[in-house]
Structure 1
Amino acid sequence: MSINNSLALIILLLGVLTAIFVGNSVNKTWLEQSYVFDTYQTDHGGHAYKYKGKEVIISKIVPYQQSPLKQANLSKLNEDPLLKEQWVEDTAHRIKLLKPAYHYGLWSLLPAFITIVLCLLTREPLTSLFSGIVMGSLMLGQYDLTDAVIIPNLAKEGTAALLLLYLWLLGGLLGIWSKTGAAQAFANYITLHFVRGPRSAKVISWLLGILFFQGGTMSTVLVGTSVRPLADKAKVSHEEMSYIVDSTASPIATIIAFNAWPAYVQALIFVPGVSFLATESARLNFFFSSIPFSFYAIFAVLGTLLLSINITTFSGKRIRDAHQRALTTGQLDAKGARPLSAKELQRCDVPSGYTPHVLEFILPLVTLISIAVFTFIFLGSPKINWAFGTALLLSAAIALAKGMSLTHVIDGFGNGLKGVVLASVILMLAVIIGSISKEIGGGLYLVSQLGEQLPFWLLPLILQLMTMVIAFSTGTSWGTYAIAFPLAMPLAWAVCQSQGLANPELFMMVCFATVLNGSVFGDQCSPISDTTILSAMTTGCDLMDHVKSQLIPATFAATCAASLWTLTVYLFA
């Protein structure tokens, strides 16, 4: 047994004992959490709000001072509150939903800490994630991992949708493209007409990353799936490709924000008494006005562009070494690497007598993108499952129409499932540990450590660092937004008012941008993030090689951004 594995085993055992101790002996710290909805009066004089296009009636509203869920009452608790949520009306006649949340202090970070440390020591994300889930379950007193933790989380609508998309639809599509040779035909066509070497292959990949600006998992999968064959043919290292794919996916979504992000985020940033955050339209305008301050996203996208044109000065030693390795030896992976994408997706297995055509790749891909974009325009959110499902059916239909047997099509589909099954399991475990981390209050604890007496110019930096840690620990940027924005924005306004800043709106925009961008950084670099896993999977890179090689250029971009945010508020706020 290696030293790293021995150390990992010791850490795991200590973690189990600590988790049991925390679950049985450490008291929960309860905090009031309030959520503001766009409520309105119904024809019957009651109150309601819209959720996913449907009217939800608020059954009972009590005065805030009478609520057992207000902070003054929660602070007195020695056990769990009797209510899970309650609608209240405050003294300014605002309707709010109170939901109590808790943390275990510093112990709340234990599952995420154990997971990340084990990932770095063992380079084995599957067992590391499972270990983190065990820690969190023990802290919650859930000793039946299967029935009490794993199955309920897998049964959630969002988790089931991820499993459907990334195992069945994505895996099946990649498998059929491999069977028909469509991906290879596309790579040959692009290589013949546009790619003149590794640099042009990377530039095309970067341009596709900009084009697919919907952000998150959608962009990651679309770009990674599209560029993998041409990049492999051009002998671009997998570390470079996974970095380009990952570092354009979410960062570009904060700059070209014509996607689902503003609608989601605006609901989290209401601050009582702040006129430019008072209405939904005002908050959307605030989001778009803050885009020029998304310094990290801008530097991240510029960093991938520089790498694409072979300027590796800011890319870090690991990426420079990977670049030289691929250039001199043709080896796309480091020695000892274990790519997430299985061998079934790394070879063409075209039946004899079948001639691949580039349109077999382009038509399903254009269909996929079109459905995603148009459903976003007309329905308000991209229907990714529809997009991938239609592309899968179209690919299969074209193959059958061209004479491929149904047996070969099903064989390609099955090989595609085999190719992504490991990554899909890792993805599911990442979702579960993110849910557990949120339940035990890891992010809530970190944000609660901030106070109003900070120097105003230091707050953006602290918000950035805090959200970076939360997102890195939980593997989710949107989850971090839900945790951080309702606390960070009121805090920023309180600091703004108490220290009499001359330009409060600019200060709030910078603080908003630090939370937005810090969450993107943490999500992008976390080994338990779905976009990190999918970037490695779709480009065929070893997960930990991707994490370690990406961390240096991303940290450089974050450092430059932090300097600009601090200077901006110090000089102009």
Structure 2
Amino acid sequence: MLSRNLATWGFLLLALMAALYANQAQHPVWKEQSYLYETFHTADGRLMYRYQGEVLPVDGLVAYQDSPLRQVNLDRLQEEPAVKRQWVEKQDGQIMLLQADFHYGIWSLLPAFVTIALCLICREPIVALLAGIVTGAFLIGQFDIVDKVLIPSLGTQSAAAILVLYLWLLGGLTGIWAKTGAAQAFAQTMTRHFVRGPRSAKLVTWLLGAMFFQGGTISTVLVGTTVRPIADKAGVSHEELSYVVDSTASPIAVVLAFNAWPAYVQAFIFVPGVAFLATEADRIAFFFDSIPFSFYAILAVLGTLLMSLNIFTFSGKRLRKAHERAAKTGQLDAPSARPMSSGELHKVQVPAHYQANMWEFLLPLLLLLGIAVGTFMWLGSPKVNWAFGTALVVASAIALCKGMSLENLLDGFGDGLKSVVVASVVLMLAITIGGISKQIGGGLYLIDLLGETIPFWALPVILQLITMVIAFSTGTSWGTYAIAFPLAMPLAWMITQDQQLANPELYMAICFATVLNGSVYGDQCSPISDSTILSSMTTGCDLMDHVKSQLFPAGLAASAAALLWTCATFFAL
């Protein structure tokens, strides 16, 4: 422990010194960036453009050849350009916005590198993300971390929306379900009526994983704690059970994305001048349009279903041997295993006089799904806040009408908030480091370095591999999104333009899906991921037995997904 602490502090000190050195020694490299927007003339002849749903005037239009923001002029600069944004008109009449952006060369990747490296050293995502933020701030010469970096980032509308949805609505709803025992009553009803042996126990676990489609810790805790007693009685090995719980957590949340994921991810995928990513509604719609390309998530969920049906063709020898051991000897763990005890984790504390009913869970859940899917069909964008808000109100009203005291209800709500506080801190830090990565030009540097050299068909797999490594190292998919999307999406868009792909939106959707799914794979397989640890803990499985046994089926799904993504890119030609 002492050596790890020394390594952490030593590395952090070196990182901060490197950031300060880069701030003094590396001058910004200014690059011409051109963005196309929808422009039009109003009735009175004014030239206007649309930006994130707003109509704004085009001011100061000049000829492109006269603009100081052309690359040939930026290359002569010895200091910061006097003008950083300017509307220009080319000789063919095309109107675009020129912008002078900058990067610090390879130093622009320093915050991401520090974040990943520190996670490998200290295995604490919060420490790693905070260190990446401080390093990025020092790199741009900003030393007032709280007032000038954290508060402006967390004070945005998108950050507030994520906090309200994830902390208050989602956390509060799961807390009330736990207090009333509604989720457990539903799970117990399912298991009592459908479990007849190991196969049906695993199948019920898979179905519950699909029903609790919020992903991550919430799904693993709810499913793992409710099915373990029944699965143990049915003779399901702990390796199999923990794999089903883990592999139907985040992967199912990608496929059934009527949850907090689209609202969070959309904040990182805005690319100026890309019409189909212009507004928040556009970006959320883009998320849902990309779901058919989430090949890893789809294959992981299907592969888990096959194993639940005792079809081990794609599951690997570790899971198959665990199944055979449990069937022949009744031993649910390997002889050398050191199972993680679930202890009092999320122990249900239903008031003594209160009788839980499965409909207290099922009715709010159906309303949640109905509102999310209905608004998606009729409005083009799922109103997730409406869905969770309605489910929370209905769950609370049912509990009060059945006789639960307001004090007990608020206790449950508070417990739900507590259960997602740490995850919320990770989200807020992830938002901040994503903004800093954009500001210091990490994505711009990659475009400058790789944009003209990477074949279009190779980028998806490269992004998949990068995000797999980041998420495996950091133990968080959501933190990986904040690091990877601001780098990946501009690079993907640049390749569509440079290599003149006929269907850029399709290509962007494929690249988006590789980042999304590569991050899920790395998070799912990482031994320091909270969902991995909780999957082992709630099912009573040895942590490393769980990690090793799921590497083969998850790796097989990731390999097949890589092949499918590569083939799919040719449809963008």
TM-score range, shorter chain: 0.7 to 0.9
Instruction: Identify the residue that residue 524 of structure 1 maps to in structure 2.
Output: 520
Matching of residues 244-283 of structure 1 within 5 Å: 244-250=248-254
Conserved? CA contact 1:133–1:432, under 8 Å: yes
Question: Which amino acid is 1:37 matched to?
Answer: Y
Matched residue SS, 2:248? helix
2:97 maps to 1:97: yes
Conserved? CA contact 2:110–2:135, under 8 Å: yes
Quick one: distance in 2 between partners of 1:171 and 1:147? 28
Q: Residue 515 of structure 1 is aligned with which of 511, 514, 517?
A: 511
Matched residue SS, 1:460? coil
* Cα distance, 1:309 vs structure 2: 4.0
* Cα distance, 1:559 vs structure 2: 3.4
Conserved? CA contact 1:293–1:509, under 8 Å: no
Conserved? CA contact 1:294–1:513, under 8 Å: no
Conserved? CA contact 2:36–2:274, under 8 Å: no
Quick one: distance in 2 between partners of 1:564 and 1:379? 31
Matched residue SS, 1:449? helix
Query: CA RMSD of the aligned region, Å?
Result: 4.8
Quick one: distance in 1 between partners of 2:265 and 2:287? 7
Q: 1:228 to 1:427 in 2, by over 3 A?
A: farther
| TM-score where L is the length of structure 1 | 0.76
Instruction: Identify the residue that residue 398 of structure 1 maps to in structure 2.
Output: 398
2:462 maps to 1:465: yes
Conserved? CA contact 2:251–2:298, under 8 Å: no
Q: 1:54 to 1:194 in 2, by over 3 A?
A: farther
* Cα distance, 1:382 vs structure 2: 1.6
Conserved? CA contact 1:19–1:135, under 8 Å: yes
Question: Which amino acid is 2:492 matched to?
Answer: A
Question: How many percent of aligned residue pairs carry the same amino acid?
Answer: 45
Matching of residues 161-560 of structure 1 within 5 Å: 161-196=161-196, 200=200, 203=203, 227=223, 230-235=226-231, 237-238=241-242, 240-250=244-254, 296=296, 299-309=299-309, 328-329=331-332, 346-450=346-450, 452=452, 458-466=455-463, 468-469=465-466, 475=479, 477=481, 483-492=487-496, 494-495=498-499, 505=502, 512=508, 514-525=510-521, 554-560=554-560
Q: 1:436 to 1:472 in 2, by over 3 A?
A: farther
Quick one: distance in 1 between partners of 2:571 and 2:52? 42
Instruction: Identify the residue that residue 473 of structure 2 maps to in structure 1.
Output: none
Matched residue SS, 1:72? helix
Instruction: Identify the residue that residue 276 of structure 1 maps to in structure 2.
Output: none
Instruction: Identify the residue that residue 474 of structure 2 maps to in structure 1.
Output: none
Deviation digits for residues 103-142 of structure 1, max 9, x if unmatched? 2222222212221222233222221221221211111212
Quick one: distance in 1 between partners of 2:149 and 2:177? 36
Conserved? CA contact 1:102–1:440, under 8 Å: yes
2:30 maps to 1:27: no
Instruction: Identify the residue that residue 280 of structure 2 maps to in structure 1.
Output: none
Matched residue SS, 2:418? helix
Greater CA drift, 180-189 or 366-375: 366-375
Where structure 2 has 5 or more consecutive residues not aligned to the other structure, the ranges are 232-237, 276-284, 471-477
Q: 1:136 to 1:452 in 2, by over 3 A?
A: closer
Quick one: distance in 2 between partners of 1:432 and 1:416? 25
Question: Which amino acid is 1:247 matched to?
Answer: P
Quick one: distance in 1 between partners of 2:150 and 2:263? 29
Matched residue SS, 2:97? strand
Quick one: distance in 2 between partners of 1:22 and 1:117? 19
Matched residue SS, 1:354? coil
Conserved? CA contact 1:463–1:511, under 8 Å: no
Matched residue SS, 1:351? coil
Matched residue SS, 1:92? coil
Q: 1:547 to 1:154 in 2, by over 3 A?
A: farther
Quick one: distance in 1 between partners of 2:291 and 2:395? 38
Q: 1:399 to 1:571 in 2, by over 3 A?
A: closer
| TM-score where L is the length of structure 2 | 0.76
Question: Which amino acid is 2:70 matched to?
Answer: K
Q: 1:155 to 1:204 in 2, by over 3 A?
A: farther
Conserved? CA contact 2:34–2:99, under 8 Å: yes
Q: 1:39 to 1:20 in 2, by over 3 A?
A: same
Conserved? CA contact 1:110–1:135, under 8 Å: yes
Q: 1:465 to 1:140 in 2, by over 3 A?
A: same
Question: Which amino acid is 1:58 matched to?
Answer: V
Quick one: distance in 1 between partners of 2:547 and 2:97? 39
Conserved? CA contact 1:198–1:231, under 8 Å: no
Quick one: distance in 2 between partners of 1:266 and 1:149? 20
Aligned residues: 537
Deviation digits for residues 153-194 of structure 1, max 9, x if unmatched? 110111111111121112211111111111111111111233
Q: 1:222 to 1:228 in 2, by over 3 A?
A: same
Quick one: distance in 1 between partners of 2:255 and 2:287? 15
Conserved? CA contact 1:203–1:309, under 8 Å: yes
Matching of residues 62-141 of structure 1 within 5 Å: 62-141=62-141
Quick one: distance in 2 between partners of 1:105 and 1:551? 36
Q: 1:134 to 1:195 in 2, by over 3 A?
A: farther
* Cα distance, 1:145 vs structure 2: 1.3
Greater CA drift, 95-104 or 471-480: 471-480
* Cα distance, 1:482 vs structure 2: 6.1
Greater CA drift, 143-152 or 187-196: 187-196
* Cα distance, 1:436 vs structure 2: 1.6
Conserved? CA contact 1:115–1:131, under 8 Å: yes
Matched residue SS, 2:249? helix
Quick one: distance in 1 between partners of 2:298 and 2:363? 32
Question: Which amino acid is 1:28 matched to?
Answer: P
* Cα distance, 1:324 vs structure 2: 9.9
Quick one: distance in 1 between partners of 2:70 and 2:111? 29
Q: 1:68 to 1:329 in 2, by over 3 A?
A: farther
